[in-house]
Structure 1
Amino acid sequence: MTTATTTITDRVAEMHATMATQPANETMGAFGRERAELATAGLPAGIAPVGTVVTDAALLDPHGAAITLYAATGTGPAVLAFYRGAWCPYCNITLATYQAQLLPQLTHRGITLVAISPQAPDGSLSMQDKNHLAFTVTSDPGNSIAGQLGILTAPSRDARAAQLQLGLDLTMVNADATVTLPMPTTVILDADHVLRWIDVHPDYSTRSEPRQILDALDQLAL
């Protein structure tokens, strides 16, 4: 359960503790190795710098209707949360925490929250319904916005094999039938769609905490 004081880190630690009580298996080991490798590799080269104007792009809402980034973010500042998909437990923890802790604060400030993933619209709808999300959840076919930001990645070969063993085929989940994913990333745009803050997490088990995002907004005076 997400409360006003429970952090994403806390909830992930609880999930990992539960997983640790289960018998060790190669499938789960592949994900652990992948996270460790990603953490060691660190931030990718080419991340968009602060000051970049993020150009408009076509998105899909959870019902498959066309929408654009600029329409989704509105006329004021916006927070964009890039996530991997409804199949990712870390993404579910993160967006549920944002619903409980971040959205009320952003609404009070007049700031829009938009979640973006490469999954097909039915995945967005599943994410929205499962976590009772009251903010905008969109599909970015082809990762066009994540590509602008330089935050694209893909599962390791072992992790891809483990996903398939669990019945997850990203080519059937992603709207563009690829395995390309965004690194979990939080972005703050101002009213002119200028990138003012970006927090990229190569290790997908970690995310921007609500308090970090609100502190960044305070420092930017948005």
Structure 2
Amino acid sequence: MSLQDKLDAFKADFEAGKPPYNVPHSVIETMHRATAELIASGAAGRALKAGDKAPAFVLNDPDGNPVSSTDLLARGPLVLSFYRGVWCPYCNMELQALQGALSEFKELGAGLVAVSPQTAPNSRKSVRQNQIGFPILSDPRNEVAAAFGLRFELPDYLVELYKGLKNDLPSFNGDPSWTLPMPARFVIGQDGTILYAEVNPDYTRRPEPGDMLPMLRSA
């Protein structure tokens, strides 16, 4: 089953209110509204694209060790995935799919890192929960996500919904701003040029890990 098939199956159960989710329809409608507004804003079209230069960054891994994109690219091309956090089931399924493709990426000489705004303890939880064997980096205040054109601010009505669901992003992220990155996947060449970019304002849609392989072979 493809990653998107798994995401679609989860979404169908979640939105149908099947146990253990039991989510009221009003919650689903609010989430749909927020996604539709983000799509309509054109934010995804302003994110970095293939052919652009990727911003250099240094972010900490869950143990507090700095990880430099320059150092990563010195070893080979880089697959870079931005995700929302360990609280997002769609993100966790994506991380698991990326883990499944990790050996293929390595065979092609490529590195893989994932970036989220969550704190180090939550990144450690991501690693444990999803059995991840690649670096998960913390992006405080979504500053690197902003450099890639991915950061957006949640509308007030969605903030209130998240609070009601006990989804406390300021606590998860150590940041009071209520911002998130749009989920995105990039392949960056060793010269820093973005070779592949997929940005989706609909968090239930993610590219397949295999989509990266042709670009990595040519890189």
* TM superposition score normalised by structure 1: 0.87
Q: Gapped runs of 5+ residues in structure 1?
A: 1-5
- Report the equivalent of 1:159: 158
Q: Measure how far apart 1:145 and its partner are.
A: 2.1
The 8 Å contact of residues 28 and 162 in structure 1, kept in 2 or not, is answered as no
Does residue 11 (structure 1) correspond to residue 11 (structure 2)? The answer is: no
The 8 Å contact of residues 80 and 115 in structure 2, kept in 1 or not, is answered as yes
Q: What secondary structure does 2:141 align onto?
A: coil
Q: Measure how far apart 1:73 and its partner are.
A: 4.8
Q: Gapped runs of 5+ residues in structure 2?
A: none
- Report the equivalent of 2:85: 85
Q: Percent identity?
A: 31
User: 44-53 vs 151-160, which deviates more?
Assistant: 44-53
Q: Which amino acid in structure 1 is aligned with residue 57 of structure 2?
A: A
Q: CA RMSD in A?
A: 2.0
- Report the equivalent of 2:53: 53
Alpha-carbon distance in 2 for matches of 1:96, 1:28: 25
- Report the equivalent of 1:3: none
Q: Which amino acid in structure 1 is aligned with residue 88 of structure 2?
A: C
Q: Which amino acid in structure 1 is aligned with residue 56 of structure 2?
A: D
The 8 Å contact of residues 189 and 196 in structure 1, kept in 2 or not, is answered as yes
Q: Measure how far apart 1:41 and its partner are.
A: 4.1
- Report the equivalent of 1:206: 205
1:84-136 residue CA offsets vs partner (Å, 9 max, x unmatched): 11111110111111111x21210111100000011111111111110000111
- Report the equivalent of 2:169: 170
Q: Which amino acid in structure 2 is aligned with residue 65 of structure 1?
A: N
Q: Which amino acid in structure 2 is aligned with residue 210 of structure 1?
A: P
- Report the equivalent of 2:129: 130
User: 11-20 vs 31-40, which deviates more?
Assistant: 31-40
1:170-198 residue CA offsets vs partner (Å, 9 max, x unmatched): 11121433211111000111112222221
- Report the equivalent of 2:106: 107
The structure-2 alpha-carbon separation of the partners of 1:103 and 1:48, relative to structure 1 and needing over 3 Å to count, comes to same
Alpha-carbon distance in 1 for matches of 2:44, 2:131: 33
1:128-169 residue CA offsets vs partner (Å, 9 max, x unmatched): 110000111111112222122111112232222111111112
- Report the equivalent of 1:95: 95
The structure-2 alpha-carbon separation of the partners of 1:116 and 1:73, relative to structure 1 and needing over 3 Å to count, comes to farther
User: 166-175 vs 198-207, which deviates more?
Assistant: 166-175
